[in-house]
Structure 1
Amino acid sequence: MDKKFDMNGPLVLVRGAGEQASGVGWTLAKAGFQVVMTEVAKPLMVRWPVCFGTAVVQGTWQVEGMSSRRVEKPDECETAWNEGVIPVLIDPDLEYLTELKPTFLVDAILAKRNTGTRRDMALRTIGLGPGFTAGEDVDLVVETNRGHHLGRLIYAGPAEPNTGIPGTIAGFAKERVIYSPKAGVFRAVRSIGEQVEAGECVGVIDDGMGGTQVLATLHGVLRGLLLNDTLVGASVKLGDIDPRGKKEYCSTISEKARAIGAAVLLGIMESGLLSPISLKTR
């Protein structure tokens, strides 16, 4: 049976329900906040086992003991919260913002640019990573670049610029990411958690004219791979290979997502918007 969590605190709207956003949502829900997450109708999540956004496709999903459920309208959120479940809305343009009236809004899309978040959308707005400037389009920015400053709260100015290079793990950076060679429908032939060798086929892209193999880029554990039968464009991220080779990392929240989630929680707690009774003791 799923563990139930008491969510009675202020409402936090998290834009995005991918890997890093899910680390934020998991942390805040565990802390007792009422969290609602928004996603696109057809999310492209390679690490979908640890993404609450997987509920968009599956209906429900669980990440490390915390459950999420796709809901169709804001009035379904209350039931989900009472059950200790994070509601996930298909609402990329925040059309339900005025109905939800969040106290806090966290833009966790990680698009490397601001896709429409404004400071007036909530009493306090937080942007993750490049594309946001604290004091201008959001109140606070959280650094998302791996390294010494990961999770740092920025009160004025932007995060570090986007490098265009994935974070380094065990000495590998861009080599560990698999991209689509062309547009088409992706069909997986390997599964997340499996050991793969460089050059092995992990999937096929079918463009209607024939299939093109998608090859592993190095040796390691297939930590992420798009869901089967996903329509993709050219040069879209399809998978992620972890050279550390630990299968258990595939189904647990990463150190990066945990650090970002903790930073967002700190940014909310120090906002001055919470009274001593805002969060009920569980």
Structure 2
Amino acid sequence: MLIVDIINLKDIKVLLKGGGDLASGIGYRLNRAGFNLLIVEKPEPTAIRRTVSFASAIYQGQLEVEGVRGTKVKNIEEAEECWSEGSVPVITTNQKDLLSRFKPDIIIDGRMLKERTDQTIDEARLVIGIGPGFTINQNCHLAVETNRGHHLGRVIYEGSTAKNTGSPGNVNGYTDERVIHAPEAGTFQSDCQIGQKVNTGEVIGKVKNIILKTKISGVIRGLLKPGIEVKAGTKLADVDPRSEENYCYYISDKALAIAGGVLEAIFYWYNSDNMKGVS
């Protein structure tokens, strides 16, 4: 008999590190598949696709992503209430007591720290790395590729994920032109909104007194929450040249592909010899 035949998915504790748009795609699919998960984010999230990022619950208290609600919680009791309602609890990294009480069976590192990950393999029975910086049997058991192209969403069983390209994915022929970064450290300010249509050269915000303008025309798909202190190089905005406002409110194809890889990784692990003797 396979282990998944005798384990209730809701009994498997999943900790998802990160609540940005890619991690939220993972959280969405795990929730829909029947897992109880806990999302942990930094106290001041910097996700720019805020309309589809559970990280936004840290600021708003609650956020619904395609019918799945994420809720900021203060303690394990509130997290359990979320699970009973079928929603996703979201906490911050400084809630140490809650994290220590949770004791996850699975950790998914979806923070997209690229080559700077501090994840260790001994933090849970199964550690899944997302994106650059992960090597099997070193800092994760399994990993999922995030680089757009033929291998997007593929589970990595041996070796390492692809290195960070340093360039956004190609959308309608545009890559680096789509994304606006902070030219230097300071407070980001903007009067724009996600879903707003913009033309080339239009002002999208500023850092200190440096005016930031769009490089292409399209729809603002991602925009950092105004008022946040940023470092030089921080991603501030994403302009989608397809100009489909509707896309701003849906999880991306990339995030869903990665999430599918995570589900494969989990079920592979729980149906493998790795789980022999586990009850």
> Which consecutive aligned stretches of 4+ in structure 1 deviate over 3 angstroms post-superposition?
92-98
Query: Partners of 1:73 and 1:113 in 2: how far apart?
Result: 32
Query: Partners of 2:192 and 2:116 in 1: how far apart?
Result: 35
Indicate the residue corresponding to 1:89 in structure 2. 91
Indicate the residue corresponding to 1:234 in structure 2. 232
Tell me the SS of whatever aligns to 1:8. helix
TM-score, length-scaled by structure 2: 0.90
Deviates more, 1:119-128 or 1:250-259: 119-128
Query: Considering only aligned residues, what root-mean-square deviation do their CA atoms show, in Å?
Result: 2.0
TM-superposed CA distance for 1:92, in Å, is 6.6
Check whether the contact 1:178–1:239 (CA below 8 A) recurs between aligned residues.
Answer: yes
TM-superposed CA distance for 1:73, in Å, is 2.6
Query: Partners of 2:259 and 2:96 in 1: how far apart?
Result: 21
The one-letter amino acid paired with 1:271 is W
Query: Partners of 2:187 and 2:23 in 1: how far apart?
Result: 26
Check whether the contact 1:68–1:86 (CA below 8 A) recurs between aligned residues.
Answer: yes
TM-score, length-scaled by structure 1: 0.89
Residues 56-135 of structure 1 mapped to structure 2, 5 A cutoff? 56-91=58-93, 96-135=98-137
Structure 1 residue ranges without an equivalent (≥5)? 1-6, 276-282
Tell me the SS of whatever aligns to 1:78. helix
TM-superposed CA distance for 1:119, in Å, is 1.6
The one-letter amino acid paired with 2:224 is L
TM-superposed CA distance for 1:105, in Å, is 0.7
Check whether the contact 2:115–2:164 (CA below 8 A) recurs between aligned residues.
Answer: no
Indicate the residue corresponding to 1:30 in structure 2. 32
Residues 1-282 of structure 1 mapped to structure 2, 5 A cutoff? 8-91=10-93, 96-206=98-208, 211-272=209-270
Deviations 1:206-232 (A, max 9, x none): 3xxxx3211111111111111121221
The one-letter amino acid paired with 2:260 is A
Query: Partners of 2:58 and 2:99 in 1: how far apart?
Result: 19
TM-superposed CA distance for 1:28, in Å, is 0.1
Shift of the 76–34 alpha-carbon distance from structure 1 to 2, 3 Å rule, reads same
Tell me the SS of whatever aligns to 2:55. helix
The one-letter amino acid paired with 1:103 is D
Check whether the contact 1:114–1:132 (CA below 8 A) recurs between aligned residues.
Answer: no
Shift of the 229–61 alpha-carbon distance from structure 1 to 2, 3 Å rule, reads same
Query: Partners of 1:231 and 1:59 in 2: how far apart?
Result: 21
Tell me the SS of whatever aligns to 1:133. coil
Structure 2 residue ranges without an equivalent (≥5)? 1-8
Query: Partners of 1:259 and 1:109 in 2: how far apart?
Result: 17
Deviations 1:137-176 (A, max 9, x none): 1000100000000011111111011111111111111110
TM-superposed CA distance for 1:116, in Å, is 2.5
Considering fraction of residues, name the structure with more helix: 2
Tell me the SS of whatever aligns to 2:108. strand
Query: Partners of 2:74 and 2:97 in 1: how far apart?
Result: 12
Query: Partners of 1:273 and 1:70 in 2: how far apart?
Result: 33
Shift of the 95–144 alpha-carbon distance from structure 1 to 2, 3 Å rule, reads farther
Check whether the contact 2:181–2:234 (CA below 8 A) recurs between aligned residues.
Answer: yes
Shift of the 94–114 alpha-carbon distance from structure 1 to 2, 3 Å rule, reads farther
Query: Partners of 1:61 and 1:242 in 2: how far apart?
Result: 22
Equivalent residues, number: 266
Identity, % of aligned positions? 40
